[in-house]
Amino acid sequence: MHDTQAQLLTMARYQNLGKLSLRQIAKLIDADGRPQIVKYHLRELEKAGLIQLNLESGVIKPVKRGLVNNIKKLFYSLPIVGSANCGPATIFADERIEGYLKVSAKMLPHRKQDLYVLVADGPSMNQAEVHKGVTIEDGDFVVVDKSQTSPKSGDIVVAVIDGMATIKRYREDKKNNRIVLEAQSTEKYLPIFIHEGDDFVVSGKVVDVIKK
């Protein structure tokens, strides 16, 4: 996110920017006399699904995660918090939300407040079926339940290893007292072996895939 957009989003959370003119907002962000810069970055925040914007009606409001009505259809806004296989573990913090994905509430389990979305990065799980015939391909939206941090052997999880996020099949190797994270791909990927004391945490279980 551009620094100006981050600044505007933070301001929108704590004050009613809709009451101010673009020129007044520009002055607040040290862009005095350049209201078009403010307008451009507000439009970009709107495209990312981070704010509600109607300049004619004086509406500049941050979008909150939750249920919204849209032409007689009920949708739920899930936060997109980054991509798996790149970025530190802090991508799962609320302040790192990059946008929202509006999904029909009928597609989601009951515990919607525990769900977040990652963008799959790479082909390492392009043969892993989350549901019958539905695999995780590069660029897909992966829906994760952050409340499920104690997976069963065979679950697909988001694992954070040394601060890096990855999506893999979780296996318990009790014989060797270790956890194995397996790729399932048309390409060759070596498994990841996790031993006691390693910097490792499960950030949630993959519960659905929304195709790109």
Are the CB atoms for 78 and 103 separated by under 8 Å? yes
Catalytic residue among 124, 175, 185, 188: 124
- Check if 168 is active-site: yes
DSSP state letter for 152: P
- 114-124: pLDDT as tens digits: 888 888 888 89
Residue 70: pLDDT over 70: no
Number of alpha helices (DSSP H) and beta strands (DSSP E) in the chain: 3, 14
The confidence score (pLDDT) of residue 136 equals 93
**Spans of all domains in the chain:** 3-62, 66-210
E strands along 25-154, which residues?
51-54, 59-62, 66-70, 73-83, 99-104, 115-119, 129-131, 134-135, 141-145
Residue 97: pLDDT over 60: yes
Are the CB atoms for 82 and 119 separated by under 8 Å? yes
Are the CB atoms for 189 and 124 separated by under 8 Å? yes
pLDDT band at 87 (very low <50, low <70, confident <90, very high): very low
Catalytic residue among 77, 168, 203, 205: 168
Residue 69: pLDDT over 60: no
The confidence score (pLDDT) of residue 102 equals 81
What fold, for 66-210?
A: Umud Fragment, subunit A (2.10.109)
Instruction: Give strand pairing partners of 69.
Output: 74
pLDDT band at 67 (very low <50, low <70, confident <90, very high): very low
* pTM of the complete model beyond 0.95: no
- Check if 146 is active-site: no
The confidence score (pLDDT) of residue 65 equals 56
181 or 161, higher pLDDT: 181
